[in-house]
Structure 1
Amino acid sequence: MLVDSLVLANIHPSVLPAISGLNVVGQRQAAGIVETWSVAACISAADRAVKAANVTLVRVHMAFGIGGKCYMVVAGDIADVDNAVTVASDSAGEKGLLVHRAVIPRPHDALWQQLMEG
């Protein structure tokens, strides 16, 4: 059964590196996380988020083995991260595929390292 599908004609250049690994972030900043019920919804949400806000798309993680869920991590100034998370959440929410969202203004060093290193 097909849960979701996606065609992106003009994908943001940071999305593919975020899927295959990590986009590097230099200093600790605010972090935003959006979790979705499908990989397609997460990729679409990530694309919209980085086009709408001045953030770094750190990664898009496809969580194999737990029903096809996916999450994305963005980093940047708090206002930009909040905007990106809102845009991504709205994108996934339009299809009823939003699981959860979080904005962390000042992540603890250990959490920051975990988010940045995978």
Structure 2
Amino acid sequence: MILRTIGCVELNSIAWGMHVADEMVKAASVQLVMARPTCPGRYLVVVTGDTGAVQSSVEVGRELAADMAVDWFTIPSVHPDVIPALSATSIIPKINALGVIETCTTASCILAADAAAKAGEVQLIEIRMAAGLGGKAFVTMTGDVGSVKASVEAGIEAVGDAGPVHSHVVIPAPSEELKANLL
């Protein structure tokens, strides 16, 4: 499946998350990419399709979720590294500099990852979503130091007030031991 536009609604209820996922798919011509619980008792719904359909689907999800919606987005022309990073299937032959952006919601982390990937010559390693992280999420990326710095800054800027960004770091020369734990 080639994903061009993705949309997401993150909720603080698993039961309502399932209901919202069902209604989002019924509301517009979209495909469900992901619908699953995350910590701490949140539920993440990601859909894909034409931009207008995704926007409509996300709006229906937001309206239905009401105050249970934690975060949401629509990303037209999502970077191709985002989906493999979400599923931890990125193929990274070598880690140079390492960038990490840690956010307070999964949705804002996906926004940060997309912006970071588009901003510089980096490869996304993984987007880790809230499992065992108290609801937070983080994205890791690699490339040369300058590209990683630019990408981390672009990712932070893309989150804006949606996140917020909890922390971020650029490690110019990570140890071999750390690299082994990332791949």
- Please confirm whether the aligned pair reaches a TM-score higher than 0.5, indicating the same fold: yes
Deviates more, 1:72-81 or 1:61-70: 61-70
* Aligned residues between the structures: 116
Pick one of 4, 13, 20 that aligns with 2:80: 13
Deviates more, 1:75-84 or 1:21-30: 21-30
8 A Cα contact 2:108 2:163, kept in partner = no
- Alignment root-mean-square deviation, CA: 1.4
Displacement of 1:94 in angstroms is: 3.4
Counterparts of residues 45-64 of structure 1 (less than 5 Å): 45-64=112-131
Structure 1: tracts of 5 or more residues without a match: none
The higher-RCO structure (CA 8 Å, 6+ apart) is 1
Deviations 1:37-81 (A, max 9, x none): 011100011001111111001110102244321100000000000
Structure 2: tracts of 5 or more residues without a match: 1-67
Aligned position for 2:44: none
Q: Find the aligned partners of 2:127 and 2:121 in 1 and give their Cα distance.
A: 17
Q: Find the aligned partners of 2:70 and 2:98 in 1 and give their Cα distance.
A: 28
Deviates more, 1:42-51 or 1:2-11: 2-11
Largest Rg, 1 or 2: 2
TM-score, normalised to structure 2's length? 0.60
Supply the AA of the counterpart residue of 1:14: D
Pick one of 170, 173, 181 that aligns with 1:103: 170
Displacement of 1:9 in angstroms is: 2.0
Displacement of 1:92 in angstroms is: 2.2
Aligned position for 1:31: 98
Displacement of 1:84 in angstroms is: 0.5
**Structure with the larger strand share:** 2
How much identity, in percent, do the aligned residues show? 36
Question: 1:68 and 2:135 equivalent?
Answer: yes
Q: Find the aligned partners of 1:8 and 1:103 in 2 and give their Cα distance.
A: 25
Moved over 6 A (4+): none
Aligned position for 1:89: 156
Displacement of 1:24 in angstroms is: 1.9
